[in-house]
Amino acid sequence: MRYGNGMNAIQTDIYVLAAHPAWRESRVNQPLMQAALSLPRVQLQDVYSSYPDYAIDVAAEQAALAKAQLVVLLHPIQWYSMPALQKLWLDEVLTYGWAYGEGGDKLQGKDLWLVATTGGPDASYHPQGYNRYFFDAFLPPYEQTAALCGMRFLPPLVLHGAHAVAQDVVTQHIAIFSQRLASYPNWPEMDDLEQCAACVVPMKDRPTEKEAV
């Protein structure tokens, strides 16, 4: 786990979960991670570096989330979703009775922001493109994760065609990312975004250990 600009976790209110299985090959996500690290409000978790054995420290992650007001998922889109370790992080950290369900109110009122890159260009996310759908069609799992936890899902920041876009486009994208983090929560669109009431999941809908599927 890393902290921005030498500040400790008590002084931060933004938790960035950076997930990339091959940072050395990253053209955009790696400099985005470095930009986040330069900001004093940010606590950054490089999940692939911290958990190379996939053994996630759930207590530490939940403690970091509890201190944050903005949670950022920073990763490339892989097979129309998040990298495998990021998905495991969600499975193990956002537990019933803590993040959602009866008594699970630790994330209510916080914000969730997706910052993602795609290999395919914007035109490929179109009914006539090879991805067949607009990119928004792949967002419901993220949106519903936020809703289940009573979090507000902020408009994603996405850079399409990350492998091939011009360097000045990458530079501008990083600048926007940094500016958004630095100015949070004073974003122009915030007044138009409603807080999401948590979706209540009753205990009867949860399997017992013997019934686990």
Q: What is the CATH number of the domain that holds 183?
A: 3.40.50.360
3-state DSSP of the chain: CEEHHHCCHHHCCEEEEECCCCHHHCCCHHHHHHHHHCCCCEEEEEHHHHCCCCCCCHHHHHHHHHHCCEEEEEEECECCECCHHHHHHHHHHCCECCCECCCCCCCCCCEEEEEEECCCCHHHCCCCCCCCCCHHHHCHHHHHHHHHCCCEEEEEEEECCCCCCCHHHHHHHHHHHHHHHHHCCCCHHHHHCCCCCCCCCCHHHCCCHHHCC
Q: Give, for all 213 residues of the chain, the pLDDT tens digit.
A: 666 554 444 468 999 999 999 988 899 999 999 999 999 999 999 999 999 999 999 999 999 999 999 999 999 999 999 999 999 999 999 999 999 988 999 999 999 999 999 999 999 999 999 999 999 999 999 999 999 999 999 999 999 999 999 999 999 999 999 999 999 999 988 888 877 766 777 777 776 554 555
Q: What is the model's pTM? A: 0.90
Residue 40 belongs to domain spanning: 2-211
Domains in the chain: how many in total? 1
